[in-house]
Amino acid sequence: MKRTFLLLLSFFLLGCTAAAPPCTPYELSATPPKYFVILDYGHGGSDCGAIGVDTAVLESDLNLLVGEHVARALEDRGCFVLRTRTSADAIAGTKRDDMARRGAILLTDGADCTVSIHMNKFSDRRVKGPMCYFQAGAKDGKRLAQCVIDALSSALGYDSRLANPGNNYVTRIPSAPSVLVECGFLSNPEDERNLQDPVYQQKLADAIADGVMNYLETRAGQ
C-alpha cells in the first residue's frame, strides 16, 4: 500500500500528468522508492540565515548546495525526496507565508521522516562541528536525530555527540519523525572553509543520508 502510494506520488510530483509528455516504459516499470523523505533547505530569498564571518557566504546558499547533495544521496539509497525549495529564492513573498508553505510541505501525507538542513553560528569562534536537533519529547525524532549525529560524528572525525532537544518550527510541525541538522559553524574558520568545499559537502551529505537510512531500516515495525 505504502509503495503504491509512493509510486503515485512520484508521478504527480515529477509532472507525469495529462499535460506532460507521456511517461516512458522505464518510468512506468521503475522500482518504487522504498521510503519517502521530505528535505527542507532552511531560509532562502531575502532571509539568508547566518552569514560567514570570514567569507560572508550565505547560510541559505549553503543549505541549498549541501541539501541537494543530501537529496541525491538519499535518492541513490532508494528514497523518494520532496524538497521544500529548489532555488535560492524563498518559497513565498513574506517570511510568514514562507513558513506556512514550508509547514504545509512538511505535513505531506505518507512521509517516513523529514530532514531540515541548516548552518550554525556562535559567538565563541572555537565552537565547531555538526549538531542535530529533535523536537523535545519526540521519541522517534530523538532516535532519528541520534542516528544522524552518530553518522556525522563518525564521518567527520568527532567524538560521539548527543542529539539535542529543541523546539523549532520544522521539527514541531511535521507529524513524521523530524530532525534539524546544523552542518557546522559559519563562525568557525575551519568549518566555514570546509562547508564551502564540494568534497566536504558530499561527505556531510553521505553521512546524513546514512544516518537517515540507519534510522529507517531499524525502526520498530520494519
Instruction: Give the interface with Zn ion as residue ranges (CB under 5 A).
Output: 42, 49, 118
- Residue 183 phi, psi (nearest 5): -70, -25
**Chain CA centroid to CA 186, Å:** 18
Which residue number places its CB atom closest to Zn ion?
118
- Other CB atoms within 10 Å distance of the CB of residue 98: 21
Q: How far is the CB of 59 from Zn ion (least distance, A)?
A: 5
- Residue 212 phi, psi (nearest 5): -65, -45
> What are the Cα distances from residue 170, in Å, to 15, 25, 76, 107, 187?
26, 37, 25, 10, 23
Q: How far is the CB of 191 from Zn ion (least distance, A)?
A: 14
Q: How far is the CB of 130 from Zn ion (least distance, A)?
A: 13
* Euclidean distance between CA atoms 206 and 183, whole angstroms: 12
Which CB sits closer to Zn ion, 42 or 174? Answer: 42
Which CB sits closer to Zn ion, 118 or 142? Answer: 118
Which CB sits closer to Zn ion, 49 or 129? Answer: 49
Q: How far is the CB of 180 from Zn ion (least distance, A)?
A: 9
Which CB sits closer to Zn ion, 63 or 146? Answer: 63
Candidates 119, 126, 206, 134; CA nearest to 174 is 134
Q: How far is the CB of 55 from Zn ion (least distance, A)?
A: 17
Candidates 193, 172, 206, 207; CA nearest to 62 is 193
Q: How far is the CB of 174 from Zn ion (least distance, A)?
A: 17
Please count the residues of the chain. Answer: 222
Q: What cell numbers appear for 192 in the block?
A: 566555514
Which CB sits closer to Zn ion, 156 or 170? Answer: 170
Candidates 56, 58, 55, 83; CA nearest to 69 is 83
Which CB sits closer to Zn ion, 40 or 150? Answer: 40
Specify the DSSP class assigned to residue 183.
E
